[in-house]
Chain A
């Protein structure tokens, strides 16, 4: 065994490692960039299902335009921030692609017919994740109850004590409520709208 051979072997490993690292960075970076590109409002409203329905409704709400100029875009509320959950959501989105190409909700009429089911899907998810996407911005920890009106203050304190989550009270704040929504059946903590068949 010559010393030279060992050195050559070591060199090979080094080269392989370097190629691997570079390829890894490029592939991973590319993958991540592509995923981030699907995580923008422009991408979301490039489908007319989104543009003609939910995006129009959003524009009248405080999450779109307000006095401080902070805007929540589609992915801020509908895509988790942390990587694992984000990736899971993106895999789930293949179902949305499927229905986009099938044209399941490609007219406002079709969309409205499906709205109750779609809304319930979102409500259920938010209930199950303790409104994780809301809490990316709105956090009890950083909420100054003293600056709220006495009623909101009281309700927020009660809700925290009862273990309620944002969506229990704040439904329909960014999009139109489905016509089947009945506030009398949506009493916080006793809502019928999270089960699959209300």
Chain B
């Protein structure tokens, strides 16, 4: 058997094997057939927790305890500052953006919110009432 014929035979064998694999029913990780659309995930509400969430570990950026769908954070405006800025937090009874958010990266105090901290949702996130995706034994900081 010369080389080209050997290669061809091997290829044919591989194709045949692939064909038999195809016959097995493939199921997606989420349990639906591969051609079928995935099931629509259950709808979960954003949790509203008066007083806020407990932190799960030291220096965790606090979770956002309310819906933020209506607030825009863009290059033009930051809707979070409507309640969380220095000038407004008292009247709105909201948490004040802490001093650390007014420092540049060299630790110098700025008169305005640091651009490093401007996009709140890079660190702070809302929580859905869905429960953990995977069963686990994680326990937050006591």
Q: What residues of chain A lie closer than 8 Å to B48, measured between beta carbons?
A: 149
Return the contact of B86 from the options A62, A150, A176, A184 (Cβ within 8 A): A184
Interface size on A, residues (CB 8 A): 19
Q: Is the interface of A mostly helix, strand, loop or mixed?
A: loop
Task: Say yes or no: A177-B70 contact (C-beta < 8 A), given A183-B85, A187-B91.
Answer: no
Q: Is the interface of B mostly helix, strand, loop or mixed?
A: loop
Question: Are B76 and A184 in contact, with the CB atoms below 8 A?
Answer: no
Question: Are B76 and A176 in contact, with the CB atoms below 8 A?
Answer: yes
Distance A186 CA – B93 CA, assembled complex (angstroms): 16
Return the contact of A179 from the options B50, B76, B93 (Cβ within 8 A): B76
Interface size on B, residues (CB 8 A): 18
- Residue on A nearest B69 in the bound complex, by CB: A62
- Indicate if B82 sits at the interface (CB-CB under 8 A): yes
Question: Are B77 and A172 in contact, with the CB atoms below 8 A?
Answer: yes
Q: What residues of chain B lie closer than 8 Å to A173, measured between beta carbons?
A: 70
Question: Are B50 and A150 in contact, with the CB atoms below 8 A?
Answer: yes
Task: Say yes or no: A184-B77 contact (C-beta < 8 A), given A150-B50, A151-B66, A173-B70.
Answer: no
- Indicate if A181 sits at the interface (CB-CB under 8 A): yes
* Residue positions of B touching A, CB distance < 8 A: 48, 50, 66, 70, 72, 76-79, 81-82, 85-88, 91-93
